[in-house]
Each structure stands twice: as C-alpha cells, then as structure tokens.
Amino acid sequence: MGLDAVLARSLDEEPGYPDVGATRAAALDDAPLPAGWNHLRHSEVVGSGPAALDAAGKCIRGWGMHRGAGITVTASAPVADVGVTTVSGIGVGPLRLAAPCRVLWVVDEATVRGFGYGTLAGHPETGEEAFVARLGADGEVRMTVLAFSRSGRWYTRAAGPLVRVFQGVAARAYVRAVRRACARSAGS
C-alpha cells in the first residue's frame, strides 16, 4: 500500500496505547519517560543564537528533519500542528515500511520549538517520539530527540535489539539534518 493510501486510511485513527502525550512533559519539563517501554534520548548542539533556533524549528516542524534524514514523508499538512497525520516511509521500493503517526502536541515559544507524535495502527512500533530544539542561556541551540516505544508488529519483535539500533541511527540523522538547516541559516 502506498504512503498516500496509508495516510488516507490513518486520518480517522487515534493512538491506541497507554501514556498518550507523555513525551511532552519529558521533552519540556525533563520528566521521566513512562516505565515499561524502551526509551531513547539523544541530544546535541545544532547551532547558536535565535536565527539557529528559528531554522531548527522550521526544519523540525516542516518535515525537513525527516527528509534530511532520508525518510519519505506524506502528511495531511505542510507543518506539524496538533492533529496532523503523517506517514513516514522507511526503506525503499517493496521493502518500504509505512509508519503512520498523529501529532499530539506542539511547542512554539521564544526559546523552544518542536513537537511530539504518537503511532497509529500499522506503525512498526507503538509509542511516541518528540523532537525539540531549545535555545539555552549560553546561546547554544540544542536539539533533543526522545521516545518511548515497543515493538508493534511481528517483524519488529523478530528484529529485537536491531530496532533500537535503527532508532538511534535515525535520531542522529535527524539531528544532522537540523544542524545543516542551522548552518544554512548562519550562512544567509
């Protein structure tokens, strides 16, 4: 099934797991991620100054972070806002996996930009992921990717720890994409 068809099917879906929305407190208030899940937390400096924060926010919320990491994205809106449905295509050709998600929360404040989304039926995993850029008092812009998840399909259960490796690789690729966006903003 193509990504557009998965998107159309997913528009009326809702996340069906416990702890919906828990990434918000973890990302914004440094609360712990829910117990009983696999956790991911990756954070790196991606730039400095308000212009870098603006560039990071646009890259994150405009799906540029995903595309810059080599992931195909189809979404119900061009920008991540609460209620937007997105389907990421992971892999190529007949091996492409469709990963539908719903944006659960957004932050667009003077020093913090980003969003969190939760998985929908058919996603290879079950859980949430959040992407936040924060301008610190020292002027550095730090991007954090965090997630709580567990296997949602037979093939992710079979892949076992390889799924966690892939998630870590994806988190670092997201950060690199945002860092490139911040560097482009500094050069303009």
Number of domains in the chain: 1
Residue 30 lies in a domain: no
Of 144, 20, 166, nearest in space to 97 by CA: 166
Residue 169 lies in a domain: yes
Of 118, 116, 135, 136, nearest in space to 127 by CA: 118
pLDDT for 63-76, tens place per residue? Answer: 999 999 999 999 99
CA 53 – CA 47 distance, rounded (Å) = 8
Read off the tokens for 20. Answer: 């919906």
Residue 160 lies in a domain: yes
pLDDT for 36-55, tens place per residue? Answer: 999 999 999 999 999 999 99
Looking at residue 140, its amino acid is E
Main-chain phi, psi angles of 133, to 5 degrees = -110, 135
pLDDT for 12-40, tens place per residue? Answer: 999 999 999 999 999 999 999 999 999 99
Can you give the CATH number for the domain in which 97 is found? 3.30.530.20
Residue 32 lies in a domain: no
Residue 27 lies in a domain: no
Residue keyed to tokens 């100054």: 49
Full domain range(s) for residue 55? 3-11+40-187
Residue 17 lies in a domain: no
